[in-house]
């Protein structure tokens, strides 16, 4: 029996890592199992379908109803799958949250039952003669394809997709939907996805993360249920620079009244950069909050935007501005955006506004500690990128930001892509 620590990171075998954080404030326990592979492998469509099938079927629970009934038996456990990108890798997550058995009136080894369920879902997919049943597989696939095709009708979403394609022209994997190419997804077969399932289980790096109030025997139970073979360790790279050099402009027409103007800036800052906290505050001050310069001056004061915001990607090193505008005012809006960035560089805003932004960031950050799932995700991300930042480190980092440090990091913004989806009524 090992000695259980409050926070534990352990390599069970090559390429299989176990992370635990003891947390007494919740009645629930959360477990995630993350499969990680390079984005360059180009298996997004396959991973999407593996996740879809895992969430809904297994050999023992071969219908959605059976899965739902089993979760109800497990005292209403919440279970699901998810796919997301971090830097140059893609993650397939299996996650479950359930009540800590100490709060049950009936004495039961719920951790063991939960792990039995996860073990069934992960290691015993619903395969007949080596493939997923075509009828179920095709239904899941076609429903997902219909959903993705309908997303294109959302012009805000479409504009965001287009500018990412422009920005990542030389790195197309990062421009793709997390679901992969829709055409590839529409034509993928159950045989290919079943083959890929075995590739993933055998070769993907695995992170098992647990958060909750558990003892040594319960942790041992979890580890005993998930015996993965050795596999290669990945080194995750946080990208901060695309290959593209000059600014690219593109305009499209659409049958709509409103227009979308999006801009993407190269912003070589990652969550491990020395000026990471400066970048967080700078983004919030520019357009990442309702108190931001762009919101107050472009939307509220000048009424030049229906909406306007900025977002900072900490693993790919870019900042994106999204806005809904009158298409005939596009040039003026771009000039106003430039002027807000210049205000950051010139330190032309009040200390009161800066203090308000910093307090808001800290307040929002602290809400993460009210969610076991958010804490679990932080546990995984920190292990994945080898980030040892504590809660106090983060708060102190934000508090230390000043006008001068914001000006220096704002100078790193370099415009790379501009996309205008112009409403024909504005033409």
Summarize pLDDT for 179-221 with one digit per residue, the tens.
999 999 999 999 999 999 999 999 999 999 999 999 999 999 9
Residues 284 and 397 in one domain: yes
In-domain check, residue 105: yes
Give me the mean pLDDT over the 134-161 stretch. 93
Facing residues of 34 across strands? 93, 207
Do 264 and 305 lie in one domain? The reply is yes
Q: What residue numbers bound the domain in which 75 lies?
A: 7-225
pLDDT in tens, 293-335: 999 999 999 999 999 999 999 999 999 999 999 999 999 999 9
Is the distance from CB of 236 to CB of 89 less than 8 angstroms? yes
User: Domain for residue 414, yes or no?
Assistant: yes
Give me the mean pLDDT over the 399-405 stretch: 99
> Do 213 and 319 belong together in one domain?
no
Residues 267 and 37: their CA atoms lie apart, in Å, by 25
**331 plus 412 within the same structural domain:** yes
Q: What is the pLDDT of residue 145?
A: 96
Does 238 map to a domain? no
Last residue of a domain, one of 192, 225, 258: 225
Q: How does DSSP classify residue 348?
A: -
The values of phi and psi at residue 90, to 5°, are -125, 140
> Does any domain span residue 243?
no
From 2-11, 12-21, 125-134, the region with the lowest mean pLDDT: 2-11
Q: Of 191, 225, 259, which residue sits at a domain end?
A: 225
Torsions phi, psi for 301 (to 5 deg): -75, -50
Q: Are residues 122 and 167 in the same domain?
A: yes
Residue 131: phi, psi to the nearest 5? Answer: -135, 160
- The answer to whether residues 209 and 316 belong to one domain is no
Stated pTM of the model: 0.92
* Inside any domain, residue 378: yes
Q: What kind and span of H or E run contains 104?
A: none
Residue pair 301/254 in contact (Cβ under 8 Å)? The answer is no
Residues 267 and 179 in one domain: no
pLDDT above 70 coverage of the chain, percent: 97
Does the structure show a pLDDT above 80 at 2? no
- Torsion, Cα 52 228 180 188, to 10 degrees, reads -60
Residue 2: inside a domain: no
Per-residue pLDDT tens over the stretch 343-360: 999 999 999 999 999 999
Boundary-marking domain end, from 177, 194, 225: 225
Phi-psi region of 28 (alpha: psi -120 to 50; beta: other; left: phi over 0): beta
Same domain, 50 and 190: yes
Domain contains 286: yes
Q: Say what angle helices 134-151 and 190-203 make with each other, to 10 degrees.
A: 90
Residue 356's Cβ-count burial label (10 Å; 0-12, 13-18, 19+) is: middle
| Domain annotation covers residue 159 | yes
pLDDT of residue 240: 65
pLDDT at 1: 46
- Shared domain for 61 and 208, answered yes or no, is yes
CATH classification of the domain holding 100: 3.30.830.10
Q: Into how many domains does the chain fold?
A: 2
Residues 11, 157, single domain; the answer is: yes
* The pLDDT of residue 4 is above 80: no
Q: Helix axis angle, 403-410 relative to 351-367, nearest 10°?
A: 80
**Same domain, residue pair 214 and 254:** no
Question: How many other CB atoms are found less than 10 A from the CB of residue 335?
Answer: 11
What phi and psi values does residue 304 have, to the nearest 5 degrees? Answer: -100, 0
In terms of domains, do 252 and 212 share one?
no
Mean pLDDT within 53-62? 98
Mean pLDDT confidence for 232-260: 83
| pLDDT value of residue 152 | 80
């Amino acid at each position: 029996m090992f000695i259980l620590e409050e926070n534990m990171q352990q390599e069970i075998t090559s390429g299989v890592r176990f992370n635990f954080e003891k947390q007494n404030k919740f009645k629930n326990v959360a477990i995630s199992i993350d499969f990680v592979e390079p984005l360059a492998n180009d298996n997004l469509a396959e991973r999407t379908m593996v996740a879809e099938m895992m969430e809904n079927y297994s050999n023992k629970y071969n219908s959605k109803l059976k899965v739902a009934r089993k979760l109800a038996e497990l005292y209403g456990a919440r279970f699901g799958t998810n796919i997301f990108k971090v830097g140059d890798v893609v993650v397939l997550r299996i996650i479950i949250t359930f009540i800590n058995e100490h709060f049950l009136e009936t004495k039961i080894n719920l951790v063991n039952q939960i792990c039995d369920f996860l073990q069934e879902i992960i290691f015993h997919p619903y395969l007949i003669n080596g493939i997923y049943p075509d009828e179920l597989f095709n239904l899941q696939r076609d429903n997902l394809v219909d959903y993705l095709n309908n997303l294109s009708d959302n012009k805000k979403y479409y504009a965001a997709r287009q500018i990412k394609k422009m920005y990542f022209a030389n790195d197309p994997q990062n421009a793709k939907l997390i679901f992969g190419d829709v055409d590839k997804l529409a034509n993928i077969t159950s045989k290919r996805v079943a083959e890929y399932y075995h590739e993933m289980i055998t070769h993907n790096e695995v992170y098992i993360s647990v958060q909750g109030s558990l003892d040594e025997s319960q942790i041992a139970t979890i580890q005993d249920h998930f015996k993965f073979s050795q596999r290669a360790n990945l080194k995750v790279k946080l990208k901060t620079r695309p290959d593209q050099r000059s600014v690219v402009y593109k305009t499209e027409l659409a049958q709509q009244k409103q227009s979308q103007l999006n801009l993407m800036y190269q912003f070589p800052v990652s969550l491990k950069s020395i000026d990471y906290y400066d970048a967080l505050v700078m983004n919030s001050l520019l357009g990442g909050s309702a108190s931001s310069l762009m919101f107050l001056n472009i939307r509220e004061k000048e009424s030049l935007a229906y909406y306007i915001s900025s977002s900072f990607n900490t693993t790919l090193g870019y900042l994106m501005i999204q806005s809904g505008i009158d298409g005939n005012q596009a040039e003026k809006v771009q000039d106003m955006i430039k002027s807000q960035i210049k205000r950051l560089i010139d330190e032309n805003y009040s200390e009161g506004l800066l203090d308000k932004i910093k307090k808001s960031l800290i307040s929002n950050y602290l809400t993460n500690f009210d969610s076991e799932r958010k804490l679990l995700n932080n546990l995984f991300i920190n292990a994945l990128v080898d980030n040892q930042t504590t809660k106090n480190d983060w708060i102190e980092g934000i508090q230390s930001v000043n006008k001068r440090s914001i000006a220096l990091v704002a100078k790193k913004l370099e415009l790379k892509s501009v996309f205008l989806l112009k409403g024909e009524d504005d033409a």
